[in-house]
Amino acid sequence: MMEVVSENRSFGGRQIVAKHNSTACNTEMTFAVYLPPQAEDGEVPVLWYLSGLTCTHENAMTKGGFQEHCARHGIAIVFPDTSPRGEGVANDEAYDLGQGAGFYVNATCDPWRPHFQMYQYITEELYDLVEKEFPINDRHGITGHSMGGHGALTIAMRNPDRYQSLSAFAPIANPTNSDWGRKQLSAYLGDDETNWSAHDATLLLEQHGWQGDILIDQGASDQFLDLLKPEALSAAMARRRQAGSFRMQAGYDHSYYFVSTFAGDHVAWHAERLS
């Protein structure tokens, strides 16, 4: 059962925050959906935005500036949380593991396994709930920032039947070779690195590619470039001859100032491919 927590008018549409009891994550989960004004007259396509480390559904909803662009192009946008939360949910003192850092995988190791099933939550449970509860058609795109960019890329490449467009902002591009990845993948999936490759965008792209083109924006002054490893993904795109655009944006860092600057480009890009 879904419960609406809040609803606000925005650019002629509706910004909704809702919560529900998640079977996948075995706890209550909160998410947000923006419905453009066109949704008053019928079903619209939807863009999924996956957030990065430490974020909840609220960060991109309030700082990303997506609503105006979505209203212009007639596309809904979903902002899920980044992890399970609540009493009894495992956590860690570090900001990059545990609550706020679900990494969009299905954990197989304790203490994470009972709740940290974010891959299933995003690709199945919340996906189905959004289609059921809102005027959404079967055209889905996916994007995300940092850890969420990692999630968007890996989820789309593993589920090409569910997503028709793909982009990312400053994704963790090669987590099996980064401290932002090796730490989380070993904690959630164990020390057998053969289980990690299904959650590495660079490796997935080399092996499978993507059915369409990909848009990636990366700030050239990003303070986390050594952890994100954008050069691994751009090189894989070249080797694969993958259609797409990998744009290094001069002067931009890792913040939501960067995301909000290029949010309009990404929404327009997805809207064109989902129309």
> What is the bridge-based pairing of β-strands 13-22 and 2-10?
antiparallel
Question: 275 burial class (0-12, 13-18, 19+ CB within 10 angstroms)?
Answer: exposed
Model confidence pLDDT, tens digit, residues 215-242: 999 999 999 999 999 999 999 999 999 9
Query: In 51-188, which ranges are E strands?
Result: 76-80, 136-144, 165-169
SS3 215: strand
The per-residue pLDDT for 34 is: 99
- Average pLDDT of span 78-84: 98
pLDDT at 16: 98
pLDDT of 118 > 90? The answer is: yes
pLDDT band at 203 (very low <50, low <70, confident <90, very high): very high
CA distances from 261 to 150, 167, 222, 255 (A): 20, 15, 14, 10
Joined together, the tokens standing for residue 7 give 């609803």
pLDDT for res 70: 99
| pLDDT band, residue 80 (cuts 50/70/90) | very high
Which residue type does 220 have?
A: A
Give the pLDDT confidence score for residue 233 in this predicted structure.
98
Percent of the chain with pLDDT over 90: 100
CB count within 10 Å of CB 129 equals 18
Average pLDDT for 23-47: 98
* 3-state SS assignment for residue 156: helix
pLDDT at 1: 85
* Whole-number Å distance between alpha carbons of 210 and 163: 11
> How large a percentage of the chain has pLDDT more than 70?
100
If you average pLDDT over residues 169-173, what whole number do you get?
Answer: 99
The average pLDDT across 249-271 equals: 98
Residue of 200, 117, 216 whose CA lies nearest to 165: 216
Strand ranges for 92-135 from DSSP E: none
Count of alpha carbons within 13 angstroms of residue 12, beta-carbon side = 14
pLDDT of 82 reads 98
Whether pLDDT at 39 is above 90: yes
How far apart are the C-alpha atoms of 95 and 2, rounded to whole Å? 29
Average pLDDT of the residues of the chain = 98
Query: Per-residue pLDDT for 100 more than 90?
Result: yes
The residues carrying an active-site annotation are 146, 222, 254
DSSP string, 139-199: EEEEEEBTHHHHHHHHHHHH-TTT-SEEEEES----GGGSHHHHHHHHHHH-S-GGGTGGG
For the segment 50-67, the average pLDDT, to the nearest whole number, is 98
Q: Are 95 and 101 in contact (CB under 8 A)?
A: yes
Kindly indicate the confidence band of residue 40, based on its pLDDT and cuts at 50, 70 and 90.
very high
Q: Is the dihedral of CA 79, 86, 257, 228 positive or negative?
A: negative
Which residue ranges form the domains of the chain, and what is each CATH number?
Answer: 2-274 (3.40.50.1820)
Q: Alpha carbon 265 to chain centroid distance?
A: 17
Closest CA to 144 of 125, 110, 172, 163: 172
